[in-house]
Amino acid sequence: MSLVIGLTGGIASGKSTISQMFTASDIPVIDADVIAREVVEPGEASYQQVVDLFGEDIVRADGTIDRPKLGSIVFSNEEKREQLNQIVHPAVRKRMLKKKEDYINQGEKCVVLDIPLLFESKLTSLADKTLVVFVDENTQLKRLMERNQLSEQEAMDRITSQMALAEKARLADAVIDNNGTIEASKAQFTDLLKKWEVIK
């Protein structure tokens, strides 16, 4: 039996750090963000749907979609964001499930689904266990402002557009508290893999 872990967090919570710990432990990680970029590359069915919906203005000279331009449209327009999600999400889900099946068939003991909107998109049924990478809001705000060079208001807007991390932590099977050092997070990570019998 393979254990499928749904990994999530919030913006600037350090989810990618924990994701890298899985990769370093030779546990395959299927990253929803990476797949979301793949499904809108030229030649993919979703690519044409997105261009038809948003127009040629979002296409760069090389034929690829200008993601920042598309992002600025959907960030400020909920209806457009919903339309984009209706194109991209099913394509991402389909590809993630295919990869998950492939890894399970190859006999992998554990597979990680790295999904930022795991709870918001109601995708917890894809995993056996859910894991949230948690930081308190002040830490999240500070890290996001530093990382993306945002004002406090801009950073807060992005944080509040997602489900609160405290709420995700309540819903999850396990939580890694990422407020401290990377060593502290690594220790929690190792303990959890032992508890879930992924490692001895």
13 is in an annotated binding site: yes
Backbone angles phi, psi at 104, to 5 degrees: -65, -45
Q: In this prediction, what percent of the chain has a pLDDT beyond 70?
A: 100
pLDDT tens string 97-138? 999 999 999 999 999 999 999 998 899 999 999 999 999 999
Instruction: Say whether pLDDT at 75 is over 80.
Output: no
Contacts of 32 (CB under 8 A, 6+ apart): 92, 96, 113, 114, 115, 116, 117
130 is in an annotated binding site: no
What strand order describes the sheet that includes 29-31?
A: 29-31, 110-114, 3-8, 129-134, 174-177
Are residue 198 and residue 169 in the same domain, yes or no?
Answer: yes
Domain count across the chain: 2
Are residue 141 and residue 171 in the same domain, yes or no?
Answer: yes
Domain boundary among 75, 107, 139: 107
3-class SS at 84?
Answer: helix
pLDDT of residue 121: 87
pLDDT of residue 91: 95
State pTM to two decimals: 0.90
More confident call, 73 vs 5 = 5
Task: Give the span between the Cα atoms of 21 and 83, in whole angstroms.
Answer: 34
12 is in an annotated binding site: yes
17 is in an annotated binding site: yes
